[in-house]
């Protein structure tokens, strides 16, 4: 997967194409179409430029405020359409995670519906989604820079990634090396923990193994012993009956002996008649059956022999085996496996030092590989930081910030703070006055200065891409003349091939716009409405003349407006 930001190519192939607003504050119904390049939005103070930004903020996941719903209406809605030549992976992944389905080539249509009694719903291509998804997508869709911007380029959390893209740094190599090092460290820690635990248990293992070895349990032994004990206990009960049966079967007058004698006599006369032969066959079978009965009686008597000493030995053995099984929390038949496991653990202790040495070597090599990659990344950052400082410095003087200084601070972190992004902390710092200390952007710059610093930095970083649409809100406040012209020239350069919208009060900036939208407020009775019109060439001349002269547009203002428009 690619980086969480886009390449310059992505930036050029994506834009906000339409914005439809219904019942937002003073806007009843408004449909705007946007194109590439620099679009400027102008209008008198209070005309409603902030309403447009608030409406766009809704589709980007801003907090739903029911006060935005136009008075007298039940609900309001804002729909924004973004189109892409090829939708970047960062958006596709976020949509896939949220199980939002899009057809290839389909635009991204985000709609936010807001109720007057509170609550809102969000949709992407008519599929309901959570507002959190809109906030996730917002960074890739719209980049807003205003007077009180505390995100984007001002937020130091993103400075390292910006510098890395500017440097074309191989952060992926560092990230992979970090993952390898962490894996090696974890394997080493696990092995050490295992060996330490095994060594702590070594004496106990030896004692248990000796005890088990002395008893030498065998698989299946418990069942054999239990059967033998049961047979002996039965034999004790049946001893009298077995003795009586033995007396019956023993001796010359025993039933089996008499059957055999009868069979011998019958054998001599059996040929004399068929029935005698049949009788002999029956008698032979009886002799055989009786013989088998005698053998089984003898075997049973032997198996059931009651030997008090042997019975005591068996019961003692069973008691010892079962006591050991309880001790080791296993079945008696599992004791041999317990012995093997103990031997393996003891062998592992002996082998552990050799294995540990190998893991320590692997961890050391992985750490060295990470340090080498991170150090190379650090050097690339330092080189790129100096280059960026120079590029930003070249933009400051034309923006009437010639006394200011910009510096990319690159600080190597202690080892416990190294990570997948290397060993550096990166932050963009400024000093607005000669001799002043460097400090974070939003700590020392006023609103107007901050916007111009952001513009300078944005221009310097232009080739690194950004969101689909970049918006500057009144970046030219408090400046005019040559500074305003410089701002307009840079905005136009920044918008080249991409899409940038600027809310402006400066005629010099407005003259740079490829498209010009005028925001106006009108009242009919007690009803006040805000409207937005896309101006043609004549309308542009008139609006820029108004911006130059104020309420009354003079011929001189129109002539000056023409000069501004001709000069761009």
Given this model, what pLDDT does residue 23 score?
A: 93
For residues 474 and 24, which has the higher predicted lDDT (pLDDT)? 24
Residue 507's pLDDT band (boundaries 50, 70, 90)?
A: very high
Given this model, what pLDDT does residue 287 score?
A: 81
Residue 72: CB atoms within 10 Å: 8
Residue 1's pLDDT band (boundaries 50, 70, 90)?
A: very low
Classify residue 121 by its DSSP letter: E
Helix or strand holding residue 499 (H, E): strand 499-503
Superfamily, domain 1-145+474-535: P-loop containing nucleotide triphosphate hydrolases (3.40.50.300)
pLDDT > 70: what percent of the chain?
A: 89
Given this model, what pLDDT does residue 466 score?
A: 60
Strand blocks (E) in 11-146 = 14-24, 27-33, 37-42, 75-84, 108-115, 120-124, 127-129, 142-145
Residue 319: CB atoms within 10 Å: 10
| Whether pLDDT at 14 is above 50 | yes
| Whether pLDDT at 369 is above 90 | yes
The pLDDT tens digits of the residues spanning 478-496 come to 777 888 888 898 898 888 8
Given this model, what pLDDT does residue 364 score?
A: 95
Given this model, what pLDDT does residue 3 score?
A: 41
Beta-strand pair 37-42/499-503: parallel
| Whether pLDDT at 444 is above 50 | yes
Residue 361's pLDDT band (boundaries 50, 70, 90)?
A: very high
Residue 539: CB atoms within 10 Å: 13
| Whether pLDDT at 252 is above 70 | no
The pLDDT tens digits of the residues spanning 382-405 come to 999 999 999 999 988 888 888 889
Average pLDDT, the chain: 84
| Whether pLDDT at 243 is above 70 | no
What tokens does 81 get?
């359409």
| Whether pLDDT at 12 is above 60 | no
Residue 195's pLDDT band (boundaries 50, 70, 90)?
A: confident
For 309-319, what is the mean pLDDT? Answer: 88
The three-class DSSP label of residue 119 is coil
Tell me how long the chain is: 568
Given this model, what pLDDT does residue 235 score?
A: 62
Residue whose structure tokens are 């007058």: 253
Residue whose structure tokens are 């009775």: 525
Given this model, what pLDDT does residue 6 score?
A: 43
| Whether pLDDT at 149 is above 60 | no
| Whether pLDDT at 289 is above 60 | yes
Cβ atoms 568, 512 nearer than 8 A:
yes
Given this model, what pLDDT does residue 53 score?
A: 87
Given this model, what pLDDT does residue 304 score?
A: 61
> Domain boundaries in the chain?
1-145+474-535, 203-346
Cβ atoms 529, 28 nearer than 8 A:
yes
For 455-465, what is the mean pLDDT? Answer: 76
For 70-80, what is the mean pLDDT? Answer: 92
Given this model, what pLDDT does residue 226 score?
A: 87
| Whether pLDDT at 8 is above 60 | no
Residue whose structure tokens are 């019958």: 266
Q: d(Cα 274, Cα 292) in Å, to the nearest integer?
A: 27
| Whether pLDDT at 11 is above 60 | no
| Whether pLDDT at 449 is above 80 | no
Q: Could you give the strand order of the β-sheet that contains 108-115, starting from the edge strand earlier in sequence?
A: 27-33, 14-24, 75-84, 108-115, 120-124, 127-129
The pLDDT tens digits of the residues spanning 118-140 come to 889 999 999 999 999 999 888 78
For 344-352, what is the mean pLDDT? Answer: 77
For residues 467 and 425, which has the higher predicted lDDT (pLDDT)? 425
The pLDDT tens digits of the residues spanning 167-187 come to 989 999 999 999 999 999 999
Burial class of residue 428, CB neighbours in 10 A (0-12, 13-18, 19+): buried
For residues 489 and 149, which has the higher predicted lDDT (pLDDT)? 489
Query: Which of 210-219, 237-246, 306-315, 550-559 shows the highest mean pLDDT?
Result: 210-219
| Whether pLDDT at 515 is above 60 | yes
Q: Could you give the strand order of the β-sheet that contains 424-431, starting from the edge strand earlier in sequence?
A: 405-412, 424-431, 439-440
Residues linked to residue 527 through DSSP beta bridges, in sequence order: 524
Lowest-pLDDT range of 58-62, 251-255, 492-496, 506-510:
251-255
For 244-259, what is the mean pLDDT? Answer: 69
């Amino acid at each position: 997967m690619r980086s969480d930001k886009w390449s310059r190519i992505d930036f050029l192939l994506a834009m906000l194409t339409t914005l439809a607003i219904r019942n937002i504050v003073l806007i009843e119904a408004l449909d705007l179409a946007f194109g590439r390049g620099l679009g400027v939005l102008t209008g008198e103070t209070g005309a409603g430029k902030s309403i447009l930004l608030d409406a766009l903020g809704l589709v980007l996941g801003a907090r739903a405020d029911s006060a935005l719903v136009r008075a007298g209406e039940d609900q309001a809605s804002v729909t924004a359409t973004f189109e892409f030549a090829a939708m970047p992976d960062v958006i596709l992944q976020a949509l896939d995670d949220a199980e939002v389905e899009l057809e290839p080539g389909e635009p991204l249509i985000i709609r936010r519906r807001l109720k007057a009694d509170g609550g809102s719903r969000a949709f992407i291509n008519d599929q309901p989604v959570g507002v959190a998804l809109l906030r996730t997508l917002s960074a890739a869709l719209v980049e807003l820079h205003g007077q009180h911007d505390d995100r984007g380029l001002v937020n130091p959390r993103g400075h390292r990634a910006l510098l890395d893209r500017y440097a074309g740094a191989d952060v992926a190599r560092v990230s992979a090396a970090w993952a390898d090092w962490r894996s090696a460290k974890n394997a080493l820690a696990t092995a050490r923990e295992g060996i330490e635990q095994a060594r702590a248990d070594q004496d106990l293992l030896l004692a248990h193994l000796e005890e088990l070895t002395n008893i030498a349990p065998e698989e299946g032994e418990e069942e054999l012993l239990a059967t033998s004990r049961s047979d002996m206990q039965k034999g004790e009960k049946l001893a009298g009956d077995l003795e009586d049966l033995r007396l019956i079967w023993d001796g010359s007058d025993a039933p089996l002996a008499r059957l055999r004698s009868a069979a011998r006599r019958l054998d001599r006369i059996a040929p004399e008649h068929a029935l005698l032969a049949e009788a002999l066959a029956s008698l032979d079978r009886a002799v055989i059956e009786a013989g088998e009965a005698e053998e089984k009686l003898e075997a049973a008597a032997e198996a059931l022999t009651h030997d008090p000493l042997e019975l005591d030995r068996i019961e003692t053995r069973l008691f010892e085996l079962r006591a050991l099984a309880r001790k080791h929390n296993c079945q008696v038949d599992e004791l041999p496996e317990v012995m093997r496991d103990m031997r393996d653990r003891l062998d592992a202790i002996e082998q552990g030092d050799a294995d540990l040495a190998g893991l320590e070597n692997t961890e050391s090599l992985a750490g060295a590989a990470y340090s080498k990659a991170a150090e190379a990344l650090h050097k690339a950052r330092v080189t790129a930081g100096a280059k960026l400082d120079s590029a930003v410095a070249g933009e400051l003087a034309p923006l009437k910030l010639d006394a200011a200084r910009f510096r990319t601070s690159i600080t190597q972190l202690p080892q416990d703070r190294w990570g997948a992004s290397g060993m550096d902390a990166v932050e963009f710092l400024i000093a607005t006055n000669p001799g002043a200390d460097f400090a974070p952007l939003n700590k020392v710059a006023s609103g107007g200065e901050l916007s111009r610093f952001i513009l300078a930095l944005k221009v310097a970083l232009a080739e690194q891409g950004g969101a689909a649409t970049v918006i500057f809100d009144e970046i030219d406040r408090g400046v005019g003349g040559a500074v305003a012209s410089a701002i307009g020239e840079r905005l136009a350069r920044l918008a080249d091939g991409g899409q940038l919208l600027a809310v402006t009060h400066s005629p010099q900036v407005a003259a740079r716009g490829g498209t010009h939208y005028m925001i106006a407020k009108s009242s009919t009775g007690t009803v006040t409405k805000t409207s937005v019109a896309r101006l043609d060439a004549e309308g542009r001349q008139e609006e820029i003349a108004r911006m130059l002269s104020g309420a009354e547009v003079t011929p001189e203002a129109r002539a000056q407006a023409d000069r501004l428009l001709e000069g761009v």
